[in-house]
A and B are shown apart, each in its own frame.
Chain A
Amino acid sequence: MSSPEQWTHPEPDAAPAATAAKPTAEQVIAGLRATDEGGADLVQLLTPEGERVTHPDFDIDITPEELRGLYRDMVLIRRVDREANALQRKGQLGIWVPLLGQEAAQIGAGRAMRETDMAFPSYREHGIAWTRGINPTELLGIFRGTDQGTWDPVEKRFHPYTIVIGNQVLNAAGYAMGQKFDGKVGDDDGEATMCFFGDGATSQGDVHEGFVWAAVYDAPLVFFCQNNQWAISEPTERQSRLPLYQRARGYGFPGIRVDGNDVLATLAVTKWALNECRHGNGPILIEAFTYRMDAHTTSDDPTRYRLSDELEMWKLKDPIERVKVYLVRQQWADNEFFDSVEADADKLGEELREFCTNMPDPPAERIFSNVYAEGNPVLEAQRDEFLDYVSGFAGGEH
């Protein structure tokens, strides 16, 4: 393993080639392939067993109240996710994109942000949306087909969901450049931007260009990659030889791998990264090492490409259970608390179902609305002709 050539041309007596799902020991040792253990550089503050551990570079003082809040966030957003998944199964949504298993990565990152920070999501960031104060009902229209996201991205500082893989990384880099041009970077009160994308997106040109742009303009941008191990059916090994966080070095900024199922570690690392950016030391890449516990979307069938063993193993690393164990062990929460969170989740689920089943279809005019800020007479003529045609049917519209 001394030269790059040898990485691509195994020696004749080399060990059997790895499969996509299982890297060889040599590859793991050489750091060429990700493992399900996250590797020695993984930042962790709360083990899957709920044991609090320390880290030389990253730590966090957390009060019982704060930790209860993170727990509540994760339980509620998981309930939103499961309800929405069920609503798709009942035909109320056309599709749903589950976040199951990624609650800690998203709540930890989202709660590290300030109101003045900006976030650019992909399309699975329901947990980030939650932390930006977006009512989960506002996510439903995207997947029901009634709208394309209704929140105000400027007011909430939460960009619309971006579906083309990686596009939002460049948009985030531009926004962060603007924060810097506006003189909002350089001290504790500085602003920063977070950009969310997955392991699959790291192969996109836009993500590489985003790394380059943010680096050469010293943009206050935290690249937050949720490596959930699967890009639909393709494992991370199909995207990279190198653990993803190590890519940052090639662009000239730090890359950190954090246990994405550990809400404390994710919060600590993201707070640190945002703080660096506020002070003008951005950009920074965080790889949140996690796992997509459900399908890519409700249209996907993961049994065709991954082993159930893998799922069973990741169940033991559940992001919510470890916090519950720790809260109980520390006597930071009692049954009354856990019951109240469950009751809140039940209520939220009911609100979601009620809202979803009563969502009206948009009117035909919506096809033509807001294509342009300053209008377009050709389009307006087309709209008028169509609406006139529609209104010609007996019984009014449709």
Chain B
Amino acid sequence: MAAPTMDRSTAAAPATPVQTLTISKALNMGLRAAMEANPKVIMMGEDIGKLGGVFRITDGLQKDFGEQRVLDTPLAESGIIGTAVGLAIRGYRPVCEIQFDGFIFPGFDQIVSQVAKLHYRTQGKIKMPIVIRVPFGGGIGAVEHHSESPESYFAHTAGLKVVSCSNPADAYWMIQQAIDCDDPVLFFEPKRRYYEKGEVDTTAQPGKLFESRVLRSGTDATLVAYGPMVRTSLDAANAAAEDGTSLEVIDLRTLSPLDLAPVFESVRRTGRLVVVSEAPSESSIASEIAAKVQQECFYSLQAPVLRVTGFDTPYPPSKLEEEFLPDLDRVLHAVDRSLAW
């Protein structure tokens, strides 16, 4: 089916276009707008109907759109993804919620073998406009399997697109743009930032989905982050400014395809790059950025690209997550190392 056009002028716009919202509320409103714009958009997941999702991201949607458009599914992630494939072939645009990052793996086979490959296998005769929403990352004191950062697996898989929002405005727009996209999109939501607030202008023209964005200009070094680490990087840049160090902060937003043009441009000016991510560092998105930057900015670099990441271990018991997760101090320590190189 052709990509549906979202008529933003008739989407139920709130009374005041600029509101202060949490990321979770912005996602909820974005999903609602997408469902209003296109009757083929359906939600699928565990506990997303009556309960509104364990994080309440789909709160109120089943009540307003019915059980046939907001499906409380059986507890089987392969089932959620595998049936979404069939529904997509039938012309629907399924939005699947994976309850927690660490529960996506039963659905991994369907994602990699079918969702990612059907368009290629059929040379475009079948499209897979499926969005898979994944609350990801740590910092919430949870038990095992509830704090992981599995995005690299999906960025490594041809046929998938992978994005992550870091603020309410992006949450509101990016989820709608992901649903509009005719390619399958893994949508990573920074779960420990769900309740952070920011301004959302529901009438503004949003930027493109698959573009990185410079959030703060600086001259001494560049920080690149995505999802929950964007806030950490901005905090680090504020702290560094007090000491007279000017850091540029780039929100990656899209993890596959990577949009590194703003990063290259920045590194050519600053000569120094620190990549910040919660995921383990080996063979990660941070690694890919380091490889591409050394290839494109070889003669501009004043120091090697440094990575500040989670460690190459399983996610630890939560009493240790403060040590495990990159924080402001570890980011600034890496900046100091880069500047002193």
Contact = CB atoms under 8 A, between A and B. Distances in A.
Output the residue of A182, A205, A371 with the most chain B CB within 10 A: A371
A153 interface: yes
A379 B161 CA distance: 12
Interface stretch (A70-78, A168-176, A319-327): A168-176
B317 interface: no
A170 B68 CA distance: 18
Contacts, number: 134
A213 B79 contact: yes
Given A212-B74, A216-B74, A372-B161, A181 B85 contact: no
Interface stretch (A159-167, A300-308, A352-360): A159-167
B257 A377 contact: yes
Given A372-B183, A373-B182, A209 B123 contact: no
A253 to B, nearest CB: 15
A369 B90 contact: no
B121 A213 contact: no
Contacts of B118: 160
Contacts of A394: none
B91 A178 contact: yes
Interface string A214-226: 0010000000000
Contacts of B73: 213
Contact of A182 (B90, B126, B159): B90
B97 to A, nearest CB: 16
A178 B90 contact: yes
Contacts of B257: 376-379
A200 to B, nearest CB: 16
A176 B86 contact: yes
Contacts of B106: 205
A153 B73 CA distance: 27
B68 A181 contact: yes
Contacts of B259: 377
A174 B84 contact: yes
- A interface SS class: helix
A371 B119 contact: yes
Interface residues of B, number: 44
B122 A213 contact: no
Nearest to B114: A167
A8 interface: no
B121 A174 contact: no
A330 B121 CA distance: 47
B284 interface: no
B28 interface: no
Nearest to A180: B68
Interface in A132-171: 147-150, 152-154, 159-160, 162, 164, 167, 169-171
Contact of A170 (B42, B83, B120, B182): B83
B319 interface: no
A205 B82 CA distance: 11
A230 to B, nearest CB: 24
B246 interface: no
A293 to B, nearest CB: 29
A152 B258 CA distance: 32
B86 A173 contact: yes
A370 B127 CA distance: 10
Contact of B114 (A147, A171, A178, A182): A171
Contacts of A205: 76, 78, 106
B82 A373 contact: no
Interface string B85-102: 111111110000000000
A175 B87 contact: yes
A107 to B, nearest CB: 25
B109 interface: yes
Nearest to A161: B121
Nearest to B160: A372
B13 interface: no
Given A152-B125, A160-B118, A167-B82, 12 more contacts: A149-B121, A153-B126, A160-B126, A167-B113, A170-B83, A174-B85, A174-B90, A372-B161, A373-B127, A376-B161, A377-B257, A377-B259
